[in-house]
Structure 1
Amino acid sequence: MGKNIIIFTVFLSVLVGCKPEKTSNNVVAETDKKKKRKVVVYQVFTRLFGNTNTTNKSWGTIEENGVGKFNDFTDKALTEIKDLGVTHIWYTGVPHHDVIRDYTKYGISNDDPDVVKGRAGSPYAVKDYYNVNPDLAVNVENRLQEFEALVKRSHKNGLKVIIDIVPNHVARNYKSLTNPKGTKDFGADDDKTVAYKVNNNFYYVPKQEFEVPDFLNGYKPLGGENHPLSDREFDENPAKWTGNGSRSPKPNFYDWYETVKVNYGISPDGKKDFDELPEGFDNEDYKKHFNFWKDKTVPDSWIKFRDIALYWIEKGVDGFRYDMAEMVPVEFWSYMNSSIKMKNPDAFLLAEVYNPSLYRDYIRKGKMDYLYDKVQLYDTIKNIMQGKGLTDNIPPIQEDLNDIEHNMLHFLENHDEQRISSPEFAGNPDKAKPAMVVSATISTAPTMIYFGQELGEDGSENAGFGSPSRTSIFDYVGVPALQRWVNAKQFDGGQSTIEELELRDFYKRLLNFTISSDALMGKYQDIHQYNREKTLNYNSKVLSFVRWSDNEKLIIVSNFDAVGNHRFELKIPSEIITKWNLQDGEYQLKDQLYSIEEFTLNVQKGEGLVRLKLAPFQSFILQLQ
């Protein structure tokens, strides 16, 4: 979520309960798999994409360091993103969040550096959900219309549009200028004399004023620049609870002090002041969930966020990425997501959930389409890429998530994680190649890449708030590898290095294959453990598995080793040969990544064998001809 991710789950005991049992009957996922191909999401930090300014001064202003605009996503730019093998584009940082820039002539109040992270502000401290970040517009007065035009342009170029919604918290100074008629701001009708009421939008610390936290580690807002509002004062009386759940009127520097927590009808002692879903309702579809809530009284915050989501759906947005979804009760998600699905059954709903014991509740009860597969697949692959883990640890993850594998979105980068090419992660973009093949092909789940990942961007700029290794989401900055590809907005790689273009070609080949493959929406079986036990020279730096459908059979092998070739005779177990209806004999295999090499699958006595030689970081996607 772009903050120091310390998850103070105030109500975690209420939310977690017992770990739900796994079932193999995931009706929604199975229906989805039958009617769709693989999904590939391109996450782009909107204000950075079109910025061609290369100054990169720490704490630089918009005039010094530049900023990208909605209009920078031209037809040419969107065509190139689509042709990379992308189906959905997640425009990060669209809703109007706090920024340190004077827009008062447009009726926008100034934001206080004491409660804003960075100069350009965190996209997860939203100030106005009914408008968009003024930095992103060429004409600030028409900023909403410029975003609407971007949505239409994206659709015209074959891309579905995702934006963020952050239900757990809002900016401390939330104030909407463009609320639809009859819509009130968060907190407008709150009783601030009490810590909690079910229809209060916030939690309060009665009779105590908010205090700006003590800044640590030499931090100074705006890097110490003089600013009329940077005075360690912020008027909030009474103080509200902070976004991560801190109840102190003076939050800690590592709390999410720029935000306030939204109240969903859970009292400070954990009591739920709303109806709970009936037993067994996790197996019901979104229509049943929608009907369940129709005659129920729900907390005011539920209605406000539902209306926000439907507002953007009406403007053509195709889905949402929900920040820190597990900090909001699952019943709200049932209410919210079923309402969205009634308007757009194909809406793409992705949630940030890091507690595996909650996965099935948030998918089945909360009606999420997808969750991040971070703490299992991402963390495991990262360890392998860093030379600290074994490929042996990957198959058990797929087994554990078997019943929800379709719902667990895979990624190797996003705005919260370190860039692969940074020294703090892998220091070499080629280390991502086997990891990307595995991540993109091991399940039916969507794949996500972060803008610049396909070019090996290393996130080394010291933009101001935060530190290098992650491309800053808090400040005005350039993204050098991407800027070389953008090439003065020609979007043709004209300034890219040979290595960057070769890496992008790899991503393009892989992603386009995944969105066209029947087998990748079909069945999976691990053959890694079988080969670990039976194959000479096959080790824990290699991973193999098979994927198949009625029309396509694939053998996928990846080498995570940085040095030395791996030669072995990969064995295909007899049960796979039987399932594929293969008789003894020879069958041709063709690599789908580079379509140059051909291999032979030799089936004898019901077992298959393929002689392979893998170079460092090489993968094969071998298709049975």
Structure 2
Amino acid sequence: MSEKRNMAASAENKDKLVIYQIFTRLFGNKNTTNTFYGTRDENGVGKFTDITPTALAALKEFGVSHVWYTGVIEHATMTDYSEFGIKRDNPQVVKGRAGSPYAIKDYYDIDPDLAVDVDKRMEEFEALVQRTHDADLKVIIDFIPNHVARQYASDKKPAGVRDFGEGDKTSVVFDQQNNFYYLPNQEFHSPEGIRSPVPTPEPYREYPAKVTGNDVFNARPTINDWYETIKLNYGVDYLNGHAKRFDPLPSTWLKMRDILLFWTQKGVDGFRCDMAEMVPVEFWGWVIPEIEEVNPDIVFIAEIYNPDEYHNYIKTGKFTYLYDKVGLYNTLRPLIEGHGTAEDISRVWQRESGDISEHMLRFLENHDEQRIASAFFAKDAFAALPGMTLSATLHTGPIMIYFGQEVGVNPTKPEGFQGDDGRTTIFDYWGVEEFQKWMNGGKFDGEQLDSSQRMLRQYYQDLNHFVVQNEAIYAGQFYDLQYANIDGQSPDYDKTRTYAYLRYTPNQRFICVYNFDKTRTIHTRIKIPSHALIDSMGIDSQKEINFEEVFPTTEFKAKLSGHDLINKGFPVILPPVSHKIIQITYQP
């Protein structure tokens, strides 16, 4: 029976992180112009100062523990900041008016868009960190280790720091101490078909061409490549069997360590590491302990999409958490859309083998994914609530909410470079209409939201508080109930649309049950096997057991003997797209 259940030893995890991702450039923007490819002055831009104590207090009340400020570090842009001593970027190697926050232009500087006084942009960021801490929230920022903007040049690096590429041997493709990979005797060519809203003053020149960020060893990347970025060299010789040259330590390792230390010393509490699996795991296993020497509580989150590498990046790479996009997100999305099968949820935790489930960061939206309410996803923000609740309660690991998810943001037209794709732009200036209603001109009280949006946001708030206030969720163990109820063992239990599991500690016990069917009300019974009842949860099967729904409502109550629970199960009615978290209590 052991292979049918996951007994992950997660009771030591007492910190159920609730991460709120803010796309900083958009968060505080009150401008409603929203012109296609609009300039900063036309469409407006959010500032650090828009993230006020009032805004942070509202997030704290919402149940947030960590705020991920996306797009903090200076990146390439089409906006001209040359009057402040910032070199202009060639539009041929910039995506969107505002530019991608993942094309870093200076690792030691702040994106000037985010400052009221550009000359004091670092001071304004430091003040934001202090405000966030004063609100009893922690700060996460992006760390982009794999690539930089094509015109990277740091004018804010500390004294004595050598810039990336400074001193590189450009006559060879690979050298262990080079920061970049080169294509000797070849000139870089921008992709065909680039449509820029800004006239190009002169062609972009790069000679010799450097290798493009998504491992493109070609001087002519396509428009679908990360053509605006350059791949960083961590001592992996890609063209010679991915040979690893790590002794002595490559220059890039040391420079990246110093950058992480720089931001840690600014008070940053954690890093979301972009495309972490494109950087050798050995680097992470070396650098994370180095940063932990300065802040033992630092959090490192890896964006990673290869499940075969999950254990490696936790065990060897020493990451705190990993994205669970390929696992749970990819399983729940089809269910939310009305297809797929709930059977795949069991396969997710089985693949994780139980020992890393507490390290998985669950989410249904982020800056890369399509909005739930959009025509490209569920078309209804409420359709995701069972999936979001399962994401938050399946195991002890953190959950993440993308700003505006809680009020049903629904992009319906192209903003610029990104086009009309159901996502909120990360490349252009824009005002997010639904979120602006919650912001309410800086009051952050939601007074402009309609009743449906208020109901949605209240649900997310209740869920956030539920998962951090109940030890069975934030520190309990997990037991999959599917095998005890499928294949005719429980009447009308549809294994493709129904899912059930236990979360429990010695002090608290929950049954979580879901119906993902969009049209059918499911009348069924939920059995708990004797092993789970007696051995795992320590309940005497001769006792009378009480069942009471505790989330999201308190409509369901029942009593049943332990014997009947094992053999017959307790009755439950699940309307379409619904779920129940039911507390089990008994008198010992």
> TM-score over 0.5 for the alignment?
yes
What residue in structure 2 maps to residue 346 of structure 1?
297
What residue in structure 2 maps to residue 4 of structure 1?
none
1:458 aligns with 2:407: no
Letter in 1 for 2:563: K
In angstroms, what is the RMSD of aligned CA positions? 1.9
Answer whether contact 2:6 2:479 (CA < 8 A) is retained: no
Aligned positions of 1:22-37 closer than 5 A: 34=12, 36-37=14-15
CA distance in 2 between partners of 1:171 and 1:269 (Å): 26
Say which of 501, 504, 522 aligns to 1:545.
Answer: 501
SS at match of 1:173: coil
Say which of 596, 599, 607 aligns to 2:554.
Answer: 596
What residue in structure 2 maps to residue 289 of structure 1?
none
What residue in structure 2 maps to residue 582 of structure 1?
539
1:488 aligns with 2:445: no
Answer whether contact 2:92 2:200 (CA < 8 A) is retained: no
1:507 aligns with 2:465: no
Letter in 2 for 1:479: V
Letter in 2 for 1:599: K
CA displacement, residues 220-276 of structure 1 (integer Å, 9 cap, x when unaligned): 112xx5x243x5x1121111000011111121111110000001111231354534x
CA distance in 2 between partners of 1:67 and 1:136 (Å): 7
Farther off after superposition, 458-467 or 595-604: 595-604
What residue in structure 2 maps to residue 572 of structure 1?
528
CA distance in 1 between partners of 2:480 and 2:276 (Å): 32
TM-score by length of 1: 0.89
CA distance in 2 between partners of 1:179 and 1:592 (Å): 53
What residue in structure 1 maps to residue 335 of structure 2?
384
1:526 aligns with 2:526: no
SS at match of 1:607: helix
CA distance in 2 between partners of 1:452 and 1:148 (Å): 25
Say which of 266, 275, 284 aligns to 2:236.
Answer: 266
Answer whether contact 1:56 1:463 (CA < 8 A) is retained: yes
Q: Give the drift of 1:599.
A: 1.3
Question: Quick one: structure 1 residues 33 and 349, their matched pair in 2 at CA, closer, same or farther if it must change by over 3 Å?
Answer: farther
Say which of 220, 229, 237 aligns to 2:195.
Answer: 220
SS at match of 2:374: coil
What residue in structure 1 maps to residue 227 of structure 2?
257
1:427 aligns with 2:379: yes
SS at match of 2:527: strand
Answer whether contact 1:586 1:600 (CA < 8 A) is retained: no
Say which of 404, 407, 411 aligns to 2:363.
Answer: 411
What residue in structure 1 maps to residue 209 of structure 2?
239
CA displacement, residues 391-420 of structure 1 (integer Å, 9 cap, x when unaligned): 111112112211211111111111111111
1:111 aligns with 2:89: yes
What residue in structure 1 maps to residue 574 of structure 2?
614
What residue in structure 1 maps to residue 167 of structure 2?
189
Aligned positions of 1:14-93 closer than 5 A: 34=12, 36-93=14-71
Answer whether contact 2:91 2:200 (CA < 8 A) is retained: no
Letter in 1 for 2:477: K
Answer whether contact 1:460 1:471 (CA < 8 A) is retained: no
CA distance in 1 between partners of 2:103 and 2:464 (Å): 33
Answer whether contact 1:195 1:204 (CA < 8 A) is retained: yes
Letter in 2 for 1:324: M
Answer whether contact 1:25 1:403 (CA < 8 A) is retained: no
1:162 aligns with 2:162: no
Q: Give the drift of 1:529.
A: 2.8
CA distance in 1 between partners of 2:159 and 2:44 (Å): 35
Q: Give the drift of 1:587.
A: 2.9
1:399 aligns with 2:350: yes
1:605 aligns with 2:558: no
Aligned length: 572
Letter in 1 for 2:379: G
CA displacement, residues 439-469 of structure 1 (integer Å, 9 cap, x when unaligned): 1101111111111111111122311111230
Q: Give the drift of 1:176.
A: 1.0
SS at match of 1:221: coil
Letter in 2 for 1:297: P
Answer whether contact 2:72 2:111 (CA < 8 A) is retained: yes
Q: Return 5+ residue gaps in structure 2 as ranges.
A: none
CA distance in 2 between partners of 1:97 and 1:270 (Å): 32
